[in-house]
Structure 1
Amino acid sequence: VADVDRAKLEAEADRLRSALLTSISHDLKTPLAAIMGAAGTLREFAPALPEADRADLLSTVLDESERLNRFIANLLDMTKIESGAMEPNYGFHYVGDIVGTALHRARKIIGEHKTEMDIPTDLPMLRVDPVLFEQALFNLLDNAAKYAPPASTIRLQGWADNGSVIVQVMDEGPGIPPADLERIFDTFHRVRKGDQVRAGTGLGLSICRGFIEAMGGTISAANRTDRSGAVFTIRMPVPANQHVNDPDMDDLP
């Protein structure tokens, strides 16, 4: 039995390594090619290019560098999660502040979309790692911007429910195919869509789940019932010394 279990673990490790190599060779090559192309054009033809064209090429270098940095950060985060090295730095935080920070950080990615935020100011504070929670929200915003059409609305809303705080990220894209609902948080799994979807490593949602679960919460995916689109729901427990309907935080340690 031990040998069979060991063989299964080795096979899974081989599968993940193969998926990782495929992801790196295919997805990381895209921003690298754009960076090299823009930088090469600037090196060879910068004096002859109009100022607007030079600015566009520099913007391409910066944007693709940021995308490449996100890919690498996701790979490192996934390594930490799977190795069990993730240690949340807990503190008491208001979820609306973290949502606002995530929106600001993702402003370039969601720039072609409308955003709505409905987070009540009287929600109880949560004991979370703000960096991990913000990264989970950032990945959800990145996912929404990737699959929802430009000019559509990305909505973030929150409320208190039965000893928990709920945060939802909703988009107006095509939704999640039923066959993908159970696998959407799997490592390297990506919902297939047309060529207009930006490249990605297929790690963003898996990292969301890893971070949220590391902080004692849960995350789930579903399709909207009011219109086309996906909805991701994060449920975080309220610390035991708080009451969901009591916004008084004076007794917090």
Structure 2
Amino acid sequence: NLLRAVSHDLRTPLTSMLGASSTYLENESFLSDSEKRRFVFQIYEDCNWLLNMVENLLTITRISGETAKVTKNLELVEEVISEAFFRLKKRFPEANISVKVPEEPILVPMDALLIEQVILNLLENALSHSHSSKAIECIVRKDTSNMYCDIIDYGSGIPEDQLDTIFDGCSHGQNESSDAKKGFGIGLSICKTIITAHQGRITARNHKEGAIITFQLPMEDIEDEL
């Protein structure tokens, strides 16, 4: 299933880049400056998509399966989110994202780079599926045992029959016909692998105006208690 998802997610942007570059080269002398810019921008977006894909595939080499182990240190959740947000803004300067964290610092045992990748994947997924001027929301909360991070988008939501399968690496979104890159692909599968390796949990549900993906991490290292 994962190999099929990787093939799909790589083929789509590569096909798009090939089409855009071919059209540009064959019609360069007839294209206006705005049309040239549109083709170049399309290639730029596809390159960003492929870059994120490569980062995800590199993550697979670090952890694999539900029994994967990660090296965890106590990290400030706000700092991890800030780093993910910084990386996202470099790729998508126009991204409209609202981040809300508690005033009280939250320390959670985690592999910061891996959790940063989770947040980046979830935010990019939300950007791909949002069809509103409303900001995508990243909300952090906690209880006595867990830290929770909600990523809320304002799109057309997740098909009900995919809510339980979007993390398996082979579900593709409701708008696949118009833009197959907007499938869920391996990004969410990687998220589940990382969160599971942290003894956490990740879920998806819909709200009236879109979708919410939530991951939770234990506030204490469960492995140390075993």
Mapped contact 2:131–2:155 kept (Cα < 8 A): yes
SS state at 1:232 partner: strand
Q: State the match for 1:236 in structure 2.
A: 217
Gaps of 5+ in 1: 1-15, 241-253
Q: State the match for 2:107 in structure 1.
A: 125
Answer yes or no: is 1:215 the counterpart of 2:204: no
Q: 1:98 to 1:21 in 2, by over 3 A?
A: same
Q: State the match for 1:154 in structure 2.
A: 136
Q: CA deviation at 1:207?
A: 0.9
TM-score (norm 1): 0.72
Q: Residues of 2 paired with 1:229 and 1:55: CA distance?
A: 32
Q: What RMSD over aligned residues (CA atoms) do the two structures have, in Å?
A: 3.1
Mapped contact 1:149–1:173 kept (Cα < 8 A): yes
SS state at 1:20 partner: helix
Instruction: Report percent identity of matched pairs.
Output: 28
Deviations for 1:129-162, whole angstroms, at most 9, x for unmatched residues?
Answer: 1110011111111111122204232101112212
Deviations for 1:70-121, whole angstroms, at most 9, x for unmatched residues?
Answer: 2233344346544679552322211111112212222366656532111123
Q: 1:88 to 1:191 in 2, by over 3 A?
A: same
Counterpart amino acid of residue 191 in structure 1: G
Moved more, 43-52 or 166-175: 43-52
The structure with the larger Rg is: 1
Q: Residues of 1 paired with 2:146 and 2:209: CA distance?
A: 27
Q: How does 1:46-65 map to 2 (within 5 A)?
A: 55-65=37-47
Counterpart amino acid of residue 190 in structure 1: H
TM-score (norm 2): 0.79
Q: Residues of 2 paired with 1:188 and 1:80: CA distance?
A: 21
SS state at 1:168 partner: strand
Mapped contact 1:78–1:203 kept (Cα < 8 A): no
